[in-house]
Chain A
């Protein structure tokens, strides 16, 4: 992807976000569930109810509400959460690092498992290990991430209780961090006990998120490896006496990775979407868990802020993936 293409993509960001904002804003006000109706006290008069609507700006026409919100949002003010009575941007920025760390660890796990399984399947083609790999792919794809979560809770929380099943850190550990990136900060400051505790809390939700993606990586990479092994450069390497293992890892794998990264990059956005349910199940304090509460309570300012955050994440992620793929495969820079 050349500089021009990057610029074009960046220029498309504001209109994309504007479109998302419009759709979310309108949808939230069209679907049933007036947030004020959940706050009405038993003795409220119609005037009290009208005052509550006015307090949250819900008495204005939708168009006017949107422009009031947009004007503030442009300057970074996403309003005040109705239920938490805190600044929406502050709330989201406080939770976002937790989700990003979860996504990062899940991605690393997904790729590590996926590549390992793909290499195994490709190396032992038409032999029993390949059937195991295919079975892994089938099962991992068939079971959604949140069900993996429940299964892991049962397995590693109840039957073999070696890992914590809720939260991000042991409540008895002092939460003395300067940023929301607990894992990163604990690593950088060398607090290994805290790092270990954070990882123990991360591993189950990250695994639940990672398994479906790892299955996709396995399937695509295994197929790509099969094709790459038939290419001329692989045949030449083999005719020069290289072992199959070496041909597979040194010749086929680098070429097969490009298609895998492309597809897995797209799937990564689904992984981020999956954080909503997985964070809920593991009581993990990220923006996904927060989104569920916001929806239940019809916390409109918070929902709007969260949806925009997810949209920004998707846009950035897609851009990064495209840049990465283009860097991996220089042909695309001239395509």
Chain B
């Protein structure tokens, strides 16, 4: 130890540090300056990986906005879920549905300047359909193959008819990637420097912090309004509110409805749009849910409007089927009544009364979706009045997935179900078809009704079939549809947002007012 660094001097220095708080901070001043050419979005989830076609993140609906900013889907969607040209300008089957036919947009270029070709599209489709490729939707993409290219036209053989084949092209993993670039840099290189053909190009990425994008001046849809877009990853809802309120971000989404109303009152522009995501209660085909009277009573005794009005401040649409308004097989004629007296009579017929109630467990998440736990609390209160004594069990979403995959959920289990392409197979189909790993009700009636619809080539017949399925579900009470969620988006004054029914927040559609 030398004289400069003695124990006494160190202790002295440590004591001197006591004066530090007295120092006037020199960091004061405005933290941020407004920049009209930059759009900053306080986004609710981070981006785990760039490749939008492989791994778990590829099927995470909440990050599709990020992917769609960089990559183009084969087929795009309008704000109302209807389809429009993306990198494909034409698509469809031949008359006998043995071939798929596509036409690739001319003039589209990758971010490195290379042209987007039919070869890129075929390579992307074949890669997606490769069982070893890691695409979670491979089971769809593998249903066509043997593609042939003629200029910008592509034809392929239908290996197994899949009615939703083209609809998936606008949804999870439905993105075209650059063959030449990807094969030259490899998967790792692509993650480090991804390129797409979308409206924005990756400029800087700090995982868990932000993604900075620059406008693609050669975008086939025209240069976006903002030169720079910054997605700040802010998972905490209260922090996202503070981000826009402090002016540090221009837009945010998925904030508590109370805060949404408050910010609207403070001059921010609020967009509340019903999206393709519903709240529901799975019913498992185990006692006491094998009793139709119990299932129907559980359905009829829930006042969904009261839940929406009182818990969600009116932001929600009560539903009676797993097909929400706007979905292709939505049938407004199917109504589940709010009839507590009727529910009580049904239960009485099975020997249950409020004094001698039927008992079961209902599982729910808490904080995973807006007011999820509070909704279930309210429902349990409504059930109690008619003769259902339900015990609430709170679980994490990870446990829900595990129990659902193992078909070990409680008699009732709250969940939300997204369906961005609005097709009945991706909502009612997968949720209610016994052999699907995501279904809970495994009744033979559903297997018999839904089974033939998977490969039904007659679209009108397929949709009619799904409407019949929904009618049957409502008559038998095999699931409890609750509400269609409303997505809150808040933006500062001076910009306009085009909310999407599929829940995406697309910066390319945000413009100065």
Minimum CB–CB distance from A309 to chain B (whole Å) comes to 15
Chain-B contact segment, one of A15-23, A79-87, A127-135, A315-323:
A79-87
Q: In the complex, which residues of chain B have a beta carbon less than 8 angstroms from the beta carbon of A290?
A: 208
A196: CB under 8 A from chain B? yes
A7 within 8 A of B: no
Within 8 A of A (CB), among B1-30: 7-8, 10-12, 14-15, 17-22, 27-30
Contacts of B326 in A (CB 8 A): none
Contact B396 A280 (CB under 8 A): no
A69 to B233, CA, bound (A): 31
- 0/1 string, B219-245, CB within 8 A of A gives 1: 000000000101011111011001101
Q: Does A186 contact B (CB under 8 A)?
A: no
Q: Are A84 and B48 CB-contacts (below 8 A) given A112-B21, A162-B30, A203-B27? A: yes
Instruction: State whether the Cβ of B398 lies closer than 8 Å to any Cβ in chain A.
Output: yes
Segment touching B, from A42-50, A60-68, A230-238, A266-274: A42-50
The listed residue (A95, A174, A296, A328) touching B204 by CB distance below 8 A is A174
In the complex the two chains form, what is the Cα distance from A189 to B54 in whole Å? Answer: 40
Report the bound CA distance from A154 to B238 in whole Å. Answer: 9
Residue B107 lies at the interface, judged by CB distance under 8 Å to chain A: no
Total CB contacts across the A-B interface at under 8 A = 210
**Which residues of chain A are within 8 angstroms of B269 by Cβ–Cβ distance?**
none
Do residues B17 and A115 form an inter-chain contact, with CB atoms below 8 A? yes
* Interface: B402 (CB within 8 A): yes
Report the minimum CB–CB distance from B8 to chain A (whole Å). Answer: 7
Q: A40 to chain B: which residues have CB within 8 Å?
A: 401, 405, 437-438
Task: Determine whether A297 belongs to the interface, using a CB cutoff of 8 Å to chain B.
Answer: yes
Is the CB of A332 closer than 8 A to any CB of chain B?
no
- Assuming A42-B438, A166-B243, is B14 touching A115 (CB within 8 A)? yes
- The answer to whether residues A116 and B20 also contact, given A39-B136, A328-B11 and a CB cut-off of 8 A, is yes
Contact call B15/A289, Cβ cutoff below 8 A: no
- A144 at the A/B interface (Cβ < 8 Å)? no
A158 engages B402 (CB within 8 Å): no
Residue B206 lies at the interface, judged by CB distance under 8 Å to chain A? yes
Name A residues whose Cβ lies closer than 8 Å to a Cβ of B: 32-44, 48-49, 82-86, 94-95, 108, 111-113, 115-116, 118-119, 150, 153-154, 157-158, 161-172, 174-175, 196, 199-200, 203, 249, 253-254, 257, 280-285, 289-290, 292-293, 296-298, 327-328, 330
A37-B404, A283-B208 known, 16 other contacts, Cβ within 8 Å: A32-B402, A37-B402, A38-B56, A38-B398, A38-B401, A40-B438, A42-B139, A111-B14, A112-B18, A169-B206, A172-B228, A175-B206, A280-B235, A282-B239, A285-B208, A296-B396
A-B pairs, top 6 by smallest CB distance, nearest first, are A33-B398, A43-B139, A115-B18, A112-B20, A254-B11, A32-B399
A–B pairs, 17, beta carbons within 8 Å: A33-B399, A37-B398, A40-B437, A40-B438, A44-B139, A108-B17, A115-B17, A119-B18, A157-B246, A161-B248, A162-B28, A165-B239, A166-B243, A171-B210, A254-B12, A289-B208, A289-B235
